[in-house]
Structure 1
Amino acid sequence: MGNTGFSLALMMALLLLHFVVSFSTETTPNISTDQSALLALKAHIVSHPQKMLKTNWSTTTSICNWVGVTCGSRHQRVIALNLSSMLLTGEIPSDMFYHLSRLQVLY
């Protein structure tokens, strides 16, 4: 019976440790996660005849200044993407909308 109580306490301590580590490693979405999501989108584009993303979407420039990207003034997060006139071909990464948590408009 004594070993059962110890084993249970050990399992509870390990579960608590796992929860604390998992919680502390989760990141709150911010402008950096928005940038990562847009760069992942860029990597999934297989054809962009106008080369707008190649020449404009650069880590040396704030994503709020990228062509087709609109950031909100309050949180400086991506709220709109208008890529409709760029003739893009490719896939939208499945987790893009999870990371662009403030996105309201997509063209």
Structure 2
Amino acid sequence: MGNSSTSASDKSSLLAIKSSMNLNTHELLAKNWSRSSPFCHWIGITCDARHERVMALNLSNVGLTGYMAPELGNFSYLTELDLSNNNFHGKIPNDLRGLHRLKLLNLSYNGLSGDIPPWIGDLSELQYLGLQSSSFAGSIPIEVGQLHQLKTSDIAMNELSGRIPVEVFNISSLEVLILASNSFSGEISKAIGDLPNSES
């Protein structure tokens, strides 16, 4: 059995996330995420069986709109967060910086904007970073080079500019890097030749 207080914290965070979303386009989710049912059985939720804590949150392609709730940063056991193919807007909340177990972060195909936050580099277990097809601007933070487990990064089709930091090409685990349809300047580092499956 899980720790009842921490499990209760996960449930209250999920209900706060639900209240921040416009669920009119997805009535099933609105009804399924109910206080009266175990949250580990809710649509899009995968729990750790031992601790009954949220391990994965997959709400891709369900027509959600609104801002990303700061409570998304409350799930200390979270390894996968997939909110792709919705209509979230605004910035990535800084509260996500504490998700140190996160291996997959997919926020692609939304209306998110602002900078790619430097604290992304603190998510040391991250293996997949998907931020394509949004409205991110500014430059790629050099802190991305701290993601020593990163295998795939797709940041294509945004409004990014500036130079691509050489630190990105020093990630030895990186296999796929997709940068197309941005406004980068300068030469792409010769180190890109060390990335066997990269695309630019």
Category of TM-score, reference length = shorter chain:
0.5 to 0.7
Q: Match of 2:49, SS?
A: coil
- Aligned positions, number: 79
Identity of aligned residues (%): 38
Look up the match of 1:62.
Answer: 38
**Structure showing the higher helix proportion among its residues:** 1
Greater Cα radius of gyration, structure 1 or 2: 1
Look up the match of 1:74.
Answer: 50
Distance 1:63 1:53, change over 3 A: same
CA contact (8 A) 1:71 1:79 kept: yes
Instruction: Compute the displacement of 1:48 (Å).
Output: 4.2
Look up the match of 1:52.
Answer: 28
Cα displacement string for residues 30-77 of structure 1 (whole angstroms, at most 9, x for unaligned residues): 111101111111011024412122110001000000000000112110
1:102 aligns to 2:77 (yes or no): yes
In structure 2, give the amino acid aligned to 1:30.
Answer: T
Which residues of structure 1 form unaligned runs of 5+? 1-27
Normalised TM-score (structure 1): 0.66
In structure 2, give the amino acid aligned to 1:104.
Answer: T
Which residues of structure 2 form unaligned runs of 5+? 83-200
CA contact (8 A) 1:46 1:89 kept: yes
**Structure showing the higher strand proportion among its residues:** 2
Partner Cα separation in structure 2 for residue 81 and residue 48 of structure 1:
20
Normalised TM-score (structure 2): 0.37
CA RMSD between the two structures: 1.8
Partner Cα separation in structure 1 for residue 5 and residue 68 of structure 2:
19
Look up the match of 1:10.
Answer: none
In structure 1, give the amino acid aligned to 2:63.
Answer: L
Partner Cα separation in structure 1 for residue 22 and residue 53 of structure 2:
26
Partner Cα separation in structure 2 for residue 48 and residue 91 of structure 1:
15
In structure 2, give the amino acid aligned to 1:71.
Answer: C
Moved over 4 A (4+): none
Q: Match of 1:84, SS?
A: coil
Look up the match of 1:43.
Answer: 19
